[in-house]
Amino acid sequence: MNPDLEKLIDLQKVDVEIARLNAEVAALPKRMQAIEAELADDKARVEKAKAAIKANEQARRGLESDIQTQRDKASKYRDQSSSVKTNEQYKALMQEIQFAETQIRGFEDKILDKMEEVEHLQADLKKAEADLKAETAEIEKEKEEARAVTARDEQQLAELNARRNDLRSHIGESSLRHYDRVSKTRGTGIAEARGQRCMGCQVMLRPQVYNDVLSGNGAQVCDSCNRLLYYVPENEQPVQEKSKTGSRAGGSVERAWVYLEELGENGVFAAFVNAKGSSSMRTFDAATGKALGAPVVHKGQAYKQAFSEYISKGRHLWLDNQPNLEHDCKEELPADILDELQRQIPDRTSKA
């Protein structure tokens, strides 16, 4: 892999983590506000309960004052009754006294209601204060944890920024400039190529671009998102081998197609396959598609080990529709397969 790409992969991991930590630090004030809002609700409950108790007490004092007023009236009317001259005046005073006593009984009933009410209010206050105390302790714990996370994030940011500066100092100016430009608009500037697809934007890559990425043939970019592309062989999914009528017995196999310019008269297309604990290499003339001899088989080794010399020096090719090598390619490659492979090496010239 290109050294710049290796460092850009590390740089992107660092940049993504820096962005995450910066977002976490920036979110702290909002988190603190949310915590305080939770506490404010409990404080409001306590204040509301206290206000209700105070209002109850004021109402009772008002009722007690009203009772005293009515008692004073009744007493005054009784004093006046001893000096009246006529029965009509006496009856009028008795009615006033009776009305005052009725009013007093009504006020006394209301005071009893207020006394029952205040018992419930005091119980509500006690619970609200207990909840506030517990919530305050929990919130203080959350605040301390949030401050600890922020302190840790800031320390990590300092280390990551130092690592970022070091990585950037060892990357070529052109690669770094491209990475920065794409990252600014896309969030990331480099993406893995896997299964002929850009994993950054999930768009299929042109076969030649994908083959150049596989072979490490210069810096390649996705035509869709413009991210720089890199390839990790270990992440490639095995290819399902199919015949014309569907999947052949034996299930999935892993394979690769490689163009080997130095072999044969016109160069060769080599098909490498892992299957049933062994690996094989079949070769076909790059100009005619004719099979060149019998398959070479290695038991107990995957093709990447058994044929490492060819795998490393050849140009990797890609086929969307894999032929059945045993049934369709015994003598030569099907015309459509040959055309597709030749299309991926337009610079091939005859060695004749």
Listing DSSP states for 172-217 in one string gives -HHHHHHHHHHHHHHS-SEEEEETTEETTT-PBPPHHHHHHHHHT-
**Given a cut of 70, is residue 240 above it in pLDDT?**
no
Segment 127-149 shows an average pLDDT of 87
- What CATH number was assigned to the domain covering residues 3-168? 1.10.287.1490
Contact 7, 15 (CB under 8 A): no
β-pair partners for 291: 284
| Interatomic CA distance for residues 341 and 290, integer angstroms | 13
What is the radius of gyration, based on Cα positions, of the chain? 45
CB atoms within 10 A of CB 145: 10
| Interatomic CA distance for residues 55 and 263, integer angstroms | 101
HSE (side-chain half, CA atoms, 13 Å) at 99: 9
Residue pointed to by tokens 């299929």: 204
pLDDT band at 110 (very low <50, low <70, confident <90, very high): very high
56-103 confidence digits (pLDDT tens):
999 999 999 999 999 999 999 999 988 888 999 999 999 999 999 999
Segment 198-207 shows an average pLDDT of 88
Q: What is the per-residue pLDDT for 238? A: 52
| Interatomic CA distance for residues 16 and 156, integer angstroms | 13
**Given a cut of 90, is residue 42 above it in pLDDT?**
no
Least confident of 82-86, 97-101, 191-195, 247-251: 247-251
For 264, the 3-state DSSP assignment is coil
145-187 confidence digits (pLDDT tens):
888 888 999 999 999 999 999 999 999 999 999 999 999 999 8
**Given a cut of 90, is residue 323 above it in pLDDT?**
no
Q: Which residue has the higher pLDDT, 78 or 35?
A: 78
**Given a cut of 90, is residue 262 above it in pLDDT?**
no
268-304 confidence digits (pLDDT tens):
999 999 887 889 999 999 999 999 988 999 888 888 8
DSSP E strand boundaries for the chain: 190-194, 197-198, 228-230, 242-243, 246-247, 254-260, 268-275, 278-285, 296-299, 315-317
**Given a cut of 80, is residue 324 above it in pLDDT?**
yes
Structure tokens at 249: 């017995």
HSE (side-chain half, CA atoms, 13 Å) at 325: 23
Give the largest Cα separation in the chain, rounded. Answer: 153
Contact 208, 341 (CB under 8 A): no
Query: Rounded to the nearest 10 degrees, how much is the dihedral formed by the CA atoms of 142, 146, 148, 150?
Result: 180
| Interatomic CA distance for residues 213 and 198, integer angstroms | 11
* pTM exceeds 0.75: no
- 194-212 residues labelled b (16+ CB within 10 A) or e (exposed): bebbbbbeeeebebbbbbb
Segment 16-32 shows an average pLDDT of 88
Mean of per-residue pLDDT scores for the chain: 86
| Interatomic CA distance for residues 304 and 258, integer angstroms | 12
| Interatomic CA distance for residues 92 and 145, integer angstroms | 78
Q: What percent of the chain has pLDDT over 90?
A: 48
For 235, the 3-state DSSP assignment is helix
334-347 confidence digits (pLDDT tens):
998 998 888 888 66
Q: Which residue has the higher pLDDT, 349 or 58?
A: 58
Segment 124-130 shows an average pLDDT of 91
Among residues 178, 184, 257, the alpha carbon closest in space to that of 222 is found at 178
Domain with CATH 1.10.287.1490 in the chain: 3-168
Q: Give the CA distances from residue 181 to residues 65, 86, 107, 174, 225, in Å, rounded to whole numbers and listed in that order.
A: 81, 111, 82, 11, 12
| Interatomic CA distance for residues 189 and 198, integer angstroms | 12
Among residues 229, 285, 259, 256, the alpha carbon closest in space to that of 346 is found at 259
Q: What is the per-residue pLDDT for 244? A: 38
